[in-house]
Each structure stands twice: as C-alpha cells, then as structure tokens.
Amino acid sequence: MRAVLLGPPGAGKGTQAVKLVEKYRIPQISTGDIFRKNIKEETELGKKVQEYTTSGRLVPDELVVDLVKDRLQQEDCKNGYLLDGFPRTISQAEQLDEYLKERGEQLDAVINFEVGHDTLMERLTGRRICKVCGAGYHVKNIPPRVEGVCDKCGGELEQRKDDTAETAEKRIAVYEESTAPLIDYYAKNGALKNFNAEKDHSIVFEEIIAALGE
Ligand code: AP5
Ligand code: MG
C-alpha cells in the first residue's frame, strides 16, 4: 500500500495513520513529526525549520522534498508507506510523481479528509501529545484515562506549540491557499478518495479500510 494522507491541520491524519500503520504494516512518514523531532534534538535541520513550523508557515519545498526522498529509500519502505503531511504544495506533488516514476511505483490512494473550519479549530486547540512517546489525545474527543497523563506510557501530556488559536487559524489559511489545490491535482490522476472525517475516528477508520481493501 502506497498512500498519501491529505487534509487540513487537525483533520485526523495522524490519528488515522497510527491505526493504518498497524493494519497494513507499512511505515508512517510524517514530515511534521520529522521536523518536530529535529527541533527537539536541536539538529541543523531543526534550526532551519523551527521558525516556519512554530509560526504555521510551510517549510520551503527544497528542505522537504530531499528529506522525503531519503526516507523512501530506507528498507522499511520497500513494500509501501503512508505519507502524512506530504506533499503539501503542487511543486512537492510534481517532484514526488517524478521520483515515483523513477522508482517504477505509483500511489494506490490519496486519502482526502474533509472537515469544516470550526471542527478543525476545536480539534487543534484541544489536542494533547505525550512528551515521551508522542501518542495523541484530545481533551474532550479522545481523552486519556487520567487527565494530563499518557495511557500508553504514563508520560506527561503537552500542547503542540503551533496549536494556539492564532497559529491554528494561520495554518488553516495556509492549507487553503497552498495545499487544497492538491485535491484537484489528485482527482485528475485518479488516486483521490474522499472521506467525511467529521465522523467518530473509529468510523472514519472503518470507511478508509473499506475503500482501500485488505
Ligand atoms: P504537521 O505536523 O503535518 O501538521 P498539520 O498538517 O497541520 O496536521 P496536524 O498534525 O495538526 O493534524 P492531523 O490531521 O494529523 O490531526 P490529528 O490526527 O493530530 O505539520 C506541522 C508543520 O510542519 C506545518 O505547519 C509546516 O510548517 C511543517 N510541514 C510539515 N510538512 C510539510 C510539508 N510537506 N511542506 C512544508 N512544510 C511542512 O488530530 C487532531 C486532533 O483531533 C487530536 O486531538 C485528535 O485526538 C482529534 N481527532 C482526530 N480525529 C478525530 C475524530 N474523528 N473525531 C474527533 N476528534 C478527532
Ligand atoms: Mg499530524
């Protein structure tokens, strides 16, 4: 399975990725997660991207595309992968297409998450992430058993720096301008599959696997 998760910030891409990775036994490649890890570890890449991610702007294409190409060359991507948050611009999509052609591969599906603005804002501002293992929660929709504590590892939960109301609004606007055009792009190449992601996360998952097959 070679698939892209496409959708606005807070649509549930990461939430579904965790379950899809388990179901299809393929790696999740989240450019956002890769950037956050590099920022935390204060690497050269982390220093370059920090200002963009915390202000809700897109990281320049040239810093993203080579990173993904390198990641796709790793052994665990041989039988498929789930791209989460990439591509995010038409230029990134074109460069991915070219690269896939070189590899003799094509995308099986572009899973497009449809969610309205108010739901996105509620999801982003209520999201909490485990500082230790990275597991995701929502204060109301997907709460941990004990407030502020990760169910999986007991780690402390924190808010992402870009999940303030102001930066969330900015990210949604950036999505509309730069990423939403990819819906048409992938509709034309036939890989696009649309999902109403306002529904409960377990229903969204069932609908995705029903469309993708076993
Ligand atoms: P990235 O980390 O990719 O963030 P994003 O696209 O803004 O998406 P999110 O991770 O915020 O949302 P999600 O769809 O994963 O939602 P989640 O499942 O967590 O990117 C961050 C930054 O990195 C960018 O702003 C940019 O600067 C940079 N970047 C990354 N990739 C780039 C690229 N290719 N090019 C350039 N720059 C790039 O869910 C959200 C919340 O809702 C959670 O609390 C969850 O529990 C809850 N929830 C999920 N599903 C449901 C449901 N069905 N019902 C109720 N609640 C739900
Ligand atoms: Mg995510």
Q: For 77-129, how does the pLDDT look when each residue is reduced to its tens digit (9 = 90+)?
A: 999 999 999 999 999 999 999 999 999 999 999 999 999 999 999 999 999 99
Question: For a substitution probing ligand 1, which of 59, 174, 179 has the most ligand atoms within 8 Å of its CB?
Answer: 59
Rounded to an integer, what distance in angstroms lies between the CA atom of residue 188 and that of residue 171?
A: 26
Instruction: Kindly list the structural domains of the chain, giving each domain's residue range(s) and its CATH number in brackets, ordered by start.
Output: 2-26+79-116+173-211 (3.40.50.300)
Structure tokens at 183: 């819906």
CB count in 10 Å sphere of residue 137: 21
Encoded amino acid at 141, one letter: N
pTM of the model: 0.96
Mean pLDDT of 49-68: 96
Q: Which burial class, exposed, middle or buried, applies to 99 when counting CB atoms under 10 A from its CB (0-12, 13-18, 19+)?
A: middle
Whether the predicted pLDDT of 214 surpasses 80 = no
Structure tokens at 213: 């097959």
* % of the chain surpassing 70 pLDDT: 100
The ligand placed nearest to the CA atom of residue 208 is 1
pLDDT at 89: 98
CA of 158 to the centre of ligand 2 (A): 15
Structure tokens at 95: 């460069």
Coil, helix or strand at residue 159 = coil
Q: How confident is the model at residue 49 (pLDDT cuts 50, 70, 90)?
A: very high
Rounded to an integer, what distance in angstroms lies between the CA atom of residue 82 and that of residue 141?
A: 24
Nearest to 117 by CA among 200, 10, 191: 10
* % of the chain surpassing 90 pLDDT: 98
